Structure 1
Amino acid sequence: MYQLKLLQLLGIHEYENSFYLEINLQLDEEAHVFWEVDSETALSLKRVSDFSNEHLYRLSFHTNNNKSSITKHYLDQSTRIEFTCSDQYIEALTALKQLEAITELDKLPFISRKLAKNTSQEASQMLESEVKDGSVPKTKRKLSWLITPLLITVLAIFTAYTGHSILISASTLPSGEALWVDRPSADKALSLEEEQVKEKPKTMLLKENITIVENHKTPYVELIEDISSKLPKGMVALTFDDGPSQFTGEIVDILKEFGVGGTFFTIGTNVKQYPEQVKYIAENGFSIGTHSMTHANLAASSKSKQEKELVQSSEAIEAITGEQVTLFRPPFGAMNDTTTRIVTSHGKKTVLWNNDTRDWETRNAGKIIQHIKTTDVTGSIILLHETKATVDALPAIITYLLEQDLQIVTLR
């Protein structure tokens, strides 16, 4: 079973001469954990990240020749940045990628559920020092003996008076790292994880118009709006119109090979001609929506004609799959208020697109691939058709999208 995985990087920490990535892993549920990594990878990540602002960071599950990437998100902007990683990191990343449930995290030796706080005698300076001079000190450096006593004395008075621990911001210390000062009573010390419950890590990519649906063969998102034409940044949907056809099986097999999602908008007359292809789509966990019965221009059709096109095509699909059809795509993207009312009254959601490959026009695999590579694909619903050119282009398209660290999802 393929599940949507998101690996959000919340921070980089040094503790007891080891380095940890603070991460939020989304799988069948969320987990806030600490991943022990080598110093070289930690340093490389440190150079390309900055946790003092509102940026959100997502780690890629893909590596190539000891290179991986991190995607920086801020508002509607996303930037993919490469960093150098070790074989140890790649091995651990592979183990995380193969997880099927959050409960399996505890079996991974490099994962810790909690990370104890640094004491007042320890300030995390190694990473900042490495960034400045390129070296990797063997032992943890401490604050200057001139600064530390004064700083700790002031903080001790504060913590004794309030009864709480305090976190000194990175801008306060020359190391650029945060320093925890504990309450006098050691038995009341909080773990870093418990302290951060006060400010739960932000969830990435989950926006108001979608809901992640888990435990399916392919990564799914459930659309909430009556009409959708785009996805949040970091996601992309491959949609295939005008099938089923002689190419349906090949398209499904390619999607399965890459472990990515796909959505098929089928025409009723073709459904009756290729029922086994419809069944094959459904059996492999991909969504099937209706694209009308005869590919009619609904905006130019009467109300009764529109309803007939919608109902008959849906019933043809449902007779084969045994599942209710919930998605609709109007032929040519043509629809009017009557179309909207009919679709909504039948409990369906309309799916348009914001990236048209024009594969129906070019019928050229190279041009289709070039279109994808020269357009902004993050957050897009990509329009494709069931043709030989699309089949030929699809492996290269998927490879490119994955290289951009995008989640290729099925729509529901």
Structure 2
Amino acid sequence: MSESYGRIIELLAIERDTETFGLRIKLSLIESAELLWLTDNETIANIAGAAEFDGVHKYRISLHTAWDENKQQYIVSITRTYREHSERFSFACSVPFRNELESIKKIRHADELHTLPFLFTHRSEADPSEEISAAEGDLKTNRFARKRHHLPLKLVSATIMSLIFVVLLSSFNYSSPGDMNPHPTVTATGEAETVIQLLAENRSPIIAKPVAASMEEAAQSKPKESKPEDNTPPASIPQLELEEFISFSLPKGYVALTFDDGPSKHSIDIMNVLKKHEVGGTFFFVGTNVEKHPDYVRVIHANGYSVGSHSMTHSQLTSLTYEQQQAELTRVSDLIEHITDEKLILFRPPYGAFDDRTEALSQQQGSKMVLWNRDPEDWLTRDKDKILEYVQHIEASGSIILLHESQAVVDALPKIIKHLQDQGLTIVSLK
């Protein structure tokens, strides 16, 4: 089980002193403590792009970071919740922020918090000289002596907002997994005007938002029978073994084509295109579709392509209880392993949404969580030309590309493969 299981960092506000920015958080261990986390302005600016404090939604910072080999930076996620609804966003963070997060993960009791020099007991503006109670431990050695002004980011002066904007332009070049639910992504290279407008309107630009996968294929009519060109696996399918527990990207020189929401009537057609070009591919199957088309799973696995799980019912896992999440992961694994007679290693959470419970369950099962850093939103456009155009205009080296099983993807796939190969990239199956 993850060492961070049971720890929750709730983000309450972004606050400023005359000289310093900080994150006001509520850290829950066995008991809870409201703290001020002083970290670097660059990471805070990135968080500001993903959070808008409207008094309705709640925000929680993930305790897990991942290294993006392609961008050479750490990324972390923040989950926004309202009642039973939740969305997960990703943002770039600095090495110091990542190290601070790792230090928080090692804390087991509130009385150990005083050992972390970047955390301060949150002070009330009404009584800045109030002594910290004994119940809060010995954090008084770390508290601020001067009065702090707790203002939401929206009320920060134009000078401070300009500073954040400069940092945004230098930092928002990260393409997130979508993770997750459909939202526009603001980047520094092509949409600076949009950022300026959003800041002027006291709205926060979103740096990377999750993209929801469609389940329309599962509701379509009975799939036609597609036959593989032959039952002989290619002599050699390029493969790459993932080293990280959670992967958003690959080393440079490699690219992974991944296909979600099957098996469907398009599964074998996709496999045949991959076979013809002797390239790798990874399929993430939904359990309810596996029950309908077990033969497709069997054929794809027998031809040497990687198979992973995409939950049992394509539910947003973060909205489920621990027991429900466990059922979503174990039921689909049991189904696929019965068909392939092989331990299932790869797992992709629907919408890219996961939490500490999902991490713990995945680790218990020995799974590797595969997300993505390139998303043509093919489920939305269903247009082969737009899918191809997207791939042709990205830095594909080191990418995990998110695709869904559809006729548009089948039609675009040959040209996508040719384009990637023309760049000298190795298209791999993930292991």
TM-score range, shorter chain: 0.3 to 0.5
* TM-score, length of structure 1 as denominator length: 0.48
Structure label with greater radius of gyration:
1
Task: Work out which structure has the larger RCO, using CA pairs closer than 8 Å and 6 or more positions apart in sequence.
Answer: 2
